[in-house]
Structure 1
Amino acid sequence: MDDGQTPAEADELNPHIAHNARVWNYWLGGKDHYPADREVGDRVFGMFPNIVHVARADRAFLGRAVRHLAGEAGVSQFLDIGTGLPTVDNTHEVAQRVRPESRIVYVDNDPLVLLHARALLSGTPEGVTDYIDADARDPEAILRAAAKTLDFTRPVAVMLLGIMNFVLDVAEAQSVVRRLMAAVPSGSYLALTHPTVELGGEANIEAMRFWNEHARPPIVARTGEEIARFFDGLELLEPGLVSCSRWRPEAVGIGDAPEQVAQYGAVARKP
C-alpha cells in the first residue's frame, strides 16, 4: 500500500536504520533515538571518540553565535536551516532570551524532526517561531516559505550548522549558500559549521566511511580552504574560520584555549 512516503522519508522514520538527527541527539545526551542509532553512534565513537566533543562544541557554538547576533549585532530575524531534533537552547530560545521580539524560521526535511516541530514553536509572546518542511538543496522554496514570517528587507541571520556536509557536491553546496545570501540584505549574517579531517580529525575518515555504509544521510568532510569559499563576498568576524570550539569561547583563562575539535565554524557579515 502506498503511504505517500518517499524512500528517503521511509529510511528516516525506519527505527532499524541509523539516522543523523537521532544519532546526533544521542551524542548530545538526548532521548530521541533507537537501538540502531545508538549502535552506529557507539561504533563511530569507537573509531573517532572526539565525535561527542564535536557535537557538543557545535551546539555551544550555536549558542555563542546567536547571542552575539541577537545582542551586539542587533539581529532579530533568524533562518535556521537543518534544524535537527529539539534539545536544550534551540535558536529561538537563545535569540528571544536576548531579544524577545526575534522571529525565527526553522527548516528541515526530516519527518522525525517534523514530528517534534511543535516543541520548536513555543517562543515569547513578542516573537514568532515557524517551521518549514523543505530541503536545503532548494533555497528558492525555503526563501518563498520563510518570507511569510521574515522580512527580507531587514537583516537576517542565516544559520547553516552542520548541514552543508550533507550536500555532497561541493559546487552545489557553494551554490546553495550563494543563493541564500543573495536573497538577504546588507547587514545580514551567515553562521556556518562544517566537519573536516583537518584540526585533528584524521581518524574521522574511517568513521565517515562506516557512517556512509550504515547510516543516513551520507556525509562529506571538507578542507578549511573549501569551507572558506562558503564565505566568499562576506566579511568574516573575528577570529575568522576556526575550530568551532575556539570561536569566541567563554570563560577561558589567560593563555588557555578550548580543546580543538574537527569542525570548522565562522560567522560573517554581508556588506
Structure 2
Amino acid sequence: MRSRGLESVERPTWAPGDIDLGRPSIARVYDYWLGGAHNFAVDRAVADKVLADVPLLKNVILNHRAFLRRAVRHLLARGVRQFLDLGSGIPTVGNVHEIAQAVDPSARVVYVDVDPVAVAHSRAILTGNPLVSVLQADVRDVERVMRSPEVSRRLDLDRPVGVLMVALLHFMADEDDPRGVVAAYRDAVPPGSFLALSHAGYEEGEWDPVWDEAKRTYNRGVSEITYRSKQEVEALFEGFDLVPPGVERLPLWRPESPDDVNGGADNFIGFGAVGRKP
C-alpha cells in the first residue's frame, strides 16, 4: 500500500488530489495512446495489454485524432471561432483549444465529458485559460449541455459553432438514439454551424473477422462499441450539407500529408465527415 508521503511525491501538479492514482482511467489510457503525459503506470499497463491483443488499435486512435486536427483547421478556415467538443476526454496532445488558439488566440472552446476523472484532469490542466470551459455532463442530455453556464458563458449561440463528435457515437448503442442526439445539437446551434464527426464503421457488404475480435477485446478492456455502416454514418448528417468529400474513410478525409494516409487507408475501419447547417 502506498504511503501518504510517497503518494504526495509521486502525484504530479496537474493531477487533482481526489484522483486515485492506483485505478486506471479510460481517459488517461487514451491520453497514453495519443502520446500524452497525463497518465500513470496503471493506465499504461492497461493500454499496453489492449494493444498487445489488438495491435491495429493505436493506428485507429491516431487517425481519429488526426481527423480532429484537420476538421478543426477546416472550420477555422471557414471562419468558425467557437467549438463544442462532445465526449472530449482529457484535452491533451493536439486537442481543440491548442489547434484553434494557435490560429486565433481569441477562439473559445467548451469541452464536455461524462467521466469525472477526465473532467477533473481537464479542469486542472486548463486552469489559467479563460477562453476554455469544461463541463461534466452526459452528451445525450442535450438540453442540459446547451443550457449549462459553461456553454452560455463561453459560446455565442447567435454565431456559428463547430460541434465536434470525434470517436464518440460508436460508444452509443442504437437504443441511445445517436441520430436523435445529433439532430438535437443541430437544432440547438445557429445556421452556418458545422458538425465534425468520426465513427468506427465499415462499407456495406464488407467485413473482416479481425474486426469482430478487435471489438470483443476492446469491449472487455476499454468500453462497449457499436460499429455502423457508411450509410448509417451518412444518415447522422441529416439536415447538414456535407463538405466534400462527404463521408470518407478517416485517412482519406482531406489528408494534409502522406503521413495522414499511412496504415491501410483503403480498408480503414472508420469514417469521418464534416457537415454545415444551412
Same fold (TM over 0.5): yes
Name the CA distance, whole Å, in 2 between partners of 1:246 and 1:122.
37
Q: Does 1:139 align with 2:142?
A: yes
Q: Hey, what's the Cα distance between the residues in 2 that align with 1:160 and 1:136? A: 10
**Counterpart AA for 1:178:** A
Shift of 1:202: 4.6
**Number of the residue aligned with 1:213:** 220
Match of 2:13 in 1: none
Identity of aligned residues (%): 41
RMSD, matched Cα: 2.5
Q: Give the equivalent residue in structure 1 for 2:256.
A: 250
CA distance, structure 2, for counterparts of residue 85 and residue 28 of structure 1? 11
TM-score normalised by L of structure 1: 0.83
| Cα separation, 1, equivalents of 2:236 and 2:76 | 22
Q: How does 1:197-208 map to 2 (within 5 A)?
A: 197=202, 202-208=209-215
**SS in structure 2 of the partner of residue 203 of structure 1:** helix
**Pair 191,51 (structure 1): closer, same or farther in 2 beyond 3 Å:** same
Does residue 1:263 correspond to 2:244, yes or no?
no
Match of 1:237 among 236, 243, 256: 243
Contact 1:139–1:180 (CA under 8 A) maintained in structure 2: yes
Residue 79 of structure 1 aligns to a residue whose secondary structure is strand
- Structure 2 residue identity aligned to 1:175: G
Checking the alignment, whether the CA contact within 8 Å between 2:54 and 2:217 is kept in structure 1 is no
* Structure 2 equivalent of residue 175 of structure 1: 180
In 2 relative to 1, CA 61–201 (structure 1 residues): closer, same or farther, beyond 3 Å? farther
Q: Structure 1 residue 20 and structure 2 residue 22: aligned? A: no
Once the two structures are superposed, what CA deviation does each residue of 1:12-61 show, in whole Å capped at 9, x if it has no partner?
x7777754322222221234445554444334323432211111111111
**Residue type at the aligned position of 2:65:** R
Shift of 1:257: 4.8
> 1:5 maps to what in 2?
none
- AA of the residue aligned to 1:207: A
Match of 1:161 in 2: 166
Q: Which residue of 2 aligns with 1:195?
A: 200
Letter in 2 for 1:30: G
- In structure 2, the residue matched to 1:106 is 111
Matches within 5 A, 1:1-12: none
1:55 aligns with 2:64: no
The alpha-carbon deviation at position 65 of structure 1 amounts to 0.9
Q: Deviations over 1:95-149 (max 9, x none)?
A: 11112221111101111112212323544x7xx1111111111111111111222
Q: Which runs of 5+ in 1 are unaligned?
A: 1-12
Segments of 5+ residues of structure 2 without an aligned counterpart are 1-18
- Larger helix proportion, structure 1 or 2? 2
| Aligned mates of 2:227, 2:40 — CA distance in 1 | 25
TM-score by length of 2: 0.81
CA distance in 1, matches of 2:177, 2:258: 38
Deviation at 1:267, TM superposition (A): 0.6
